[in-house]
Structure 1
Amino acid sequence: MIYFIPTPIGNLKDISLHALEILRECEIAFCEDTRISKSLINLLNERFNANIKISKFIPFHTHNENEILASLNDEILSKNIAVLSDAGMPGISDPGISFVKYAIKNSLKYEILSGANAALLCVVASGLCEKEFIFLGFLPNTGTQRNQAIQNALNQAYPCVIYESPKRILNLIEKIVEIDPSRQIFAIKEATKKFETKFHGLAKDVLIQLQNANLSGEWCVVVQNSEKNSLEKISIKDIMLLQIPPKQKAKLISKISGKDAKTIYKEIISG
């Protein structure tokens, strides 16, 4: 059986009794980072007398996932397998999803355990989400793609949840301020840990707070939904049918999609 097991995102006590029970049954662990997973297992054994005895830890990440899945054989798949991310739910912003697809494709038994997830914690803590929200995970690191992704987040009809690193959190808020300084946002760092810190308010005010804050730790951000409903009710197909110049069409499509207007213009004129 393949088990996808959520791990604590900060507080070690967030490990579930079910997760400890299953980890005791597993012989092999596929890990985003074997060092982190080994350290976690050691801590669980020390603090909770968990008696977990996983004998083999195999790295499974973005750079080797296809190779690892291609190498799986009947001997490995006959054992109880744990799939672990560094923190949180496997398959959310990490390669675990490819293992799920592999299991489905090959009719293998698998189970997803419930547990820690930073996105849901952030959604509830933000006070910005009544029901629907959009999860965007990590945005592109740099360049035009990053700018487009941020614009896209600000165009959405529902609040957006974004994961961010300490190196880029200030850049993210700065870009939001450039586009819409009065947009409500929520940011949390070091969730469930000793130094968990929350930031609420208008983007321009949160930026000032962050400029004077310790930015270390992983971040999760919720961006308030767009209130510009007029554009959201117009589809790209509707715009393409308008009797207006291609450049104007490209600008309108860019506004509702977040894509680069020049790229859209080239696509329109090329047919």
Structure 2
Amino acid sequence: MLYFIPTPIGNLNDISFRALSVLESCEFLFCEDTRVSKSLIALLNTRFNAKIYPKKFISLHSHNEKELLEKLDLSIFDKNTAYVSDAGMPTISDPGKYLLEFALKNKLSYEVLPGANAALVALVSSSFCEKEFIFMGFLAHRGKERQKDIEKLLSNPYPSIVYESPKRILSLVKELANLDANKELFAIKEISKKFQTQFKGRAKELLKELENANLKGEWVLVVQGNFKQEFNTNTLCEKDILELDLPLKIKSKLLAKMSGKSPKEFYKKLILS
């Protein structure tokens, strides 16, 4: 059995009894960073008198997971095996996705345990969410892609959650304030740690607070949804564009604009259809 086990994001007591029990049963442990995982397990063994002693720690992260999985002997999963990221829920802005896909492809039994997740803690703390929400993870760091992400963040109809580093949190709030000074924001850092701190207010107010705040630590920002931005049932879809009496090149450009794909890709399909 393969387990995906969430780990504490700040407070060691957030580990579940079930997670401890499963970890004790595992002979192999895939880790985002073996050094971090070994330190975590040493703390868990000391704090909770656990007996977590895997036979082998295997490094599995975004830079090596594809290559490692291609060479992996499936017999390893005959024993209880687990994957843990450095902190939080595997695959949520953390590695683990390819291992999960690998399990599905090879029909391996697997289970994801519930546990710590910064995005949901921030969302609930913000009070912005009534039903739907959007998780955007980390935004692009720079250039046009970052600008697109920020524009999307402001236009999303539902509350949006983003992760941000201490180096960029102030610039992000400043960019949001420049575009919509009255947008309601909620920012929280160091979730579940001793110095957890949170801020809530309009973008222009939050910017002033953060300019005088200690920004060290990992941040989660929740942006209130743009409730005026409703999904229009009359919006053109791909089928509507295909039915229009337009040159193929124009249709290709419109379809590319809607999907973000290459116009050439659509043009080739239209020629063959």
- TM-score, with normalisation over the residues of structure 2? 0.86
Q: SS of the counterpart of 2:111?
A: strand
Match of 1:157 in 2: 157
**What is the aligned length?**
260
1:151 to 1:76, Cα distance in 2 relative to 1, 3 A:
same
Match of 1:11 in 2: 11
Counterpart amino acid of residue 69 in structure 2 = L
Match of 2:53 in 1: 53
1:234 to 1:159, Cα distance in 2 relative to 1, 3 A:
farther
1:232 to 1:212, Cα distance in 2 relative to 1, 3 A:
farther
- Flag as ranges the 4+ runs of structure 1 deviating above 2 A: 227-241, 263-271
Distance in 1, matches of 2:83 and 2:234, equals 42
Do 1:157 and 1:232's aligned partners in 2 also have CA atoms closer than 8 Å? no
1:77 positional shift: 2.0
| Structure 1 residue runs without a partner (length 5+) | none
- TM-score, with normalisation over the residues of structure 1? 0.87
Distance in 1, matches of 2:234 and 2:202, equals 28
Match of 2:191 in 1: 191
Match of 1:95 in 2: 95
- Does residue 169 in structure 1 map to residue 169 in structure 2? yes
1:207 to 1:91, Cα distance in 2 relative to 1, 3 A:
same
Match of 2:76 in 1: 76
Counterpart amino acid of residue 8 in structure 2 = P
1:235 positional shift: 3.0
Provide the identity percentage. Answer: 52
Counterpart amino acid of residue 226 in structure 1 = N
1:119 to 1:232, Cα distance in 2 relative to 1, 3 A:
farther
What aligned pairs does 1:20-31 form with structure 2 within 5 A after superposition? 20-31=20-31
Query: What per-residue deviation string (whole Å, max 9, x for no partner) do you get for residues 62-109 of structure 1?
Result: 111101111211332222111001111111111212111111111000
Match of 1:217 in 2: 217
1:228 positional shift: 3.3
Counterpart amino acid of residue 28 in structure 2 = I
Do 1:8 and 1:88's aligned partners in 2 also have CA atoms closer than 8 Å? yes
1:160 positional shift: 0.4
Match of 1:110 in 2: 110
1:231 to 1:178, Cα distance in 2 relative to 1, 3 A:
farther
